[in-house]
Amino acid sequence: MSVSIHIVPISDSLDMCGEPDSSSAYSLSGHVSISLTSPYSLFERRRTARLLLQSVLLTFEGQTEIITPQSGYAPLRLCSVTREIAPSDSIELNNEGHEESAEPCKTRVGVWNVVFNLPIPGWLPATTTYGVEEVGIRYGLFAEAKFINLDDNQTSTWSFATLCAPFRSKVKSVHAQTLITLRRLMSLPGELTDASSPNTMTYLVNSPVSAAPSQGRPQIPLEVISKIQVLASVPDYVDVDGDHFPLIIRMRTKDLDASECKRIRLSSIAANVIQKEKTRSRPSSEYLIRYPVPSSSQQPPNVPLRDAHPISSVYDVGLYVYSNAEGFTSRSFSLLPPGESGFHPLGEDNYPFAEDGDADVPPTWYTLETNVPYMQRAPSDKTADWAGPSIIRPTVVSPLISIRHEVTIELTCTYHLPNSDEQASERLSFSVPIRVAKIAPTHSQDCFTPPPSQFPASMPIGATLAPSLPELVPYAQSLPAYSQLFDRNGDRKIDYSTPLPLYSPRSPISTSSALREFDAERKDLLEPLLQTNLLA
């Protein structure tokens, strides 16, 4: 007898919205399909396959791995969620009437579907492939069905297997697994917001760091350059599939004499997009405090990963030992397209602060707006190393892999020295962080399109463990996420931002007037009934 199981999730991807949140959870549902095939024999007719299903264990597990020349191989289990999805009572399964079929029976009585609905923690990082060895962050579903073959107890023919029967375990098991892609999506603020003007994050640069001047070149006095205020605005999120994002720079002086304001000229601006990648052999203590990563007793090598990289076998047999040292490896590179320097010269007569010291003119911000381009992938032959090609990736903060982004900005200012024909120059250099993410589709039907049917043509009914699965309803795209309606423990969330109405006492009504109103209302209700009875 042959028993096979298959895991069929409703979708191969699990979408999480917003930043990682340890207080939220998402639902991953589908079914585990169990099918039977009768054993083949040259001397007799195929017998009906019968088994007693005892349990179906389903586990969702997340893992992260890195392989670096400095620290070697480092694995970590992110989470493990296990549920028993079979009924508590054992159930007999058989393929009666379909014994002669060579393929696993997929008829009404040959396939049994056990539905599942697993709660998945909302803090998990997105699926990421990193390095030339294609390690990174992965998630998967693992099923194990345990059963007893009832035909073993009915076999009367003597064989060598009969002698070994008392020493064999009667409980057998089959396994199946499938990968799940976890995507983390960010939505632009508001459904009606124009994508060309998303919400922005604004950073105040109080003390710009000036580059060291060349030997022999004059420097702008510190009491002048320190009084230039700079605001940098970038979008909340930058689309990982895009090619540019807006950058807004606002500048003004504060408490600077009018004569000094007229001496400052802004000559150029330069912007660059930097991606910083960092790997570590052990998670930081801050990450372990913030997110519920399984304890060390549940980590390799104490409990191996279910779907580890092949290189892990070298460590399992003892040729290499897992290192307890905390090693770091990092690299950074520019995301500017080839041929793009990010440098933008400004006019020769650009004195933006000339009127800042005028008391009759209200203080205003000098504004610079530009689009910063970025590329999707660098030439692999120039940047390929152990970490793989330099490609843009979403911003990720995980136990072993972190990917961050920033915009480095340089503002070149010149200053006319008093009583001299010389000019001093200074570069105001600073950087602001940006977050690169997968932006959710603006059209709801693109984000919530039901997947193609993954169910057998004929679903078991009555004798099956799960007759059918509900399909997505048309209005599903307008429903809020589960984490927005319920807390992690299942309690409904209360929106305290909407205040309760103020209490106002009811005006007193005398008893006599209340009775008169009641009698009048009762009379209006009884008169039609009395007229109907009289006519009858």
Percentage, residues of the chain above pLDDT 70: 67
- CA 52 distance to own-chain centroid: 40
pLDDT for the residue 178: 95
Q: Point out the least confidently predicted range of 25-34, 250-259, 416-425.
A: 416-425
Residue, of 460 and 426, whose pLDDT is higher: 426
Q: pLDDT: is 440 or 7 the higher one?
A: 7
The pLDDT score that the predictor gives to residue 407 is 95
| Chain CA centroid to CA 334, Å | 25
C-alpha R_g of the chain: 35
State the pLDDT at residue 377.
Answer: 74
Which pair of structure tokens corresponds to residue 58?
């389903």
> Which residue is listed with tokens 């909407």?
498
Other CB atoms within 10 A of residue 452 CB: 5
Our separate counts of H helices and E strands in the chain read 9, 23
Domain with CATH 2.60.40.640 in the chain: 2-186+441-485
Give 41's pLDDT tier (boundaries 50, 70, 90).
low
Q: Which two tokens stand for residue 50?
A: 């019968």
Q: What pLDDT was estimated at residue 519?
A: 56
**Mean pLDDT over residues 424-431, rounded?**
89
Bond before 301 cis per omega within 30 degrees: yes
- pLDDT attached to residue 284: 87
CA 276-277-278 angle, to 5 degrees, is 125
Check pLDDT > 80 for residue 23. Answer: yes
Name which of 197, 208, 317, 191 is nearest 269 in CA terms.
208
Distances (CA, A) of 13 to 138, 178, 182: 12, 11, 6
Q: Given this model, what pLDDT does residue 475 score? A: 38
> Is CATH 3.40.720 what the domain over 200-282+324-438 is classified as, yes or no?
no
**Does position 174 have pLDDT exceeding 60, yes or no?**
yes
Question: Once rounded to an integer, what is the mean pLDDT over residues 230-240?
Answer: 92
Average pLDDT over residues 45-71: 84
Can you give the pLDDT at residue 36?
A: 81
pTM to 2 decimal places: 0.73
Q: What is the mean pLDDT of the chain?
A: 76
For the segment 123-127, the average pLDDT, to the nearest whole number, is 94
* pLDDT score at 388: 80
Bridge partners of 250?
231, 367
CATH architecture of the domain with range 2-186+441-485: Sandwich (2.60)
Q: Record the tokens describing residue 413, joined without a space.
A: 């200012």
Please state whether beta strands 436-439 and 238-239 pair in parallel, antiparallel, or not at all (unpaired). parallel
Q: Does the pLDDT value for residue 504 go beyond 80? A: no
Q: What is the pLDDT at residue 481?
A: 62
Judged against a pLDDT cut of 90, whether residue 183 lies above it is answered with yes
Distance in angstroms (rounded) separating the CA atoms of residues 207 and 52 = 74
pLDDT at residue number 525 = 52
Is the pLDDT at 370 greater than 50? The verdict is yes
pLDDT at 470 (0 to 100):
36
Backbone angles phi, psi at 411, to 5 degrees: -110, 120
Query: Is residue 528 classed as helix, strand or coil in its secondary structure?
Result: helix
At residue 513, does pLDDT exceed 80?
Answer: no
Strand partners, 233: 202, 248
What's the pLDDT at 206?
67
Q: What percent of the chain has pLDDT over 90?
A: 33
CA angle 298/303/304 to nearest 5° reads 130
Query: In whole angstroms, what is the distance from residue 63 CA to residue 124 CA?
Result: 10
- More confident call, 83 vs 89: 83
Banded model confidence at residue 248, pLDDT cuts 50, 70, 90: very high
Count Cβ atoms below 10 Å from residue 463 Cβ, excluding itself: 13
Dist CA 429 CA 205 (whole Å):
10
| Three-state SS letters, 439-492 | ECCCCHHHHCCCCCCCCCCCCCCCCCCCCCCCCCCHHHHHCCCHHHHECCCCCE
How high is the pLDDT of residue 150? 78
The average pLDDT across 232-248 equals: 92
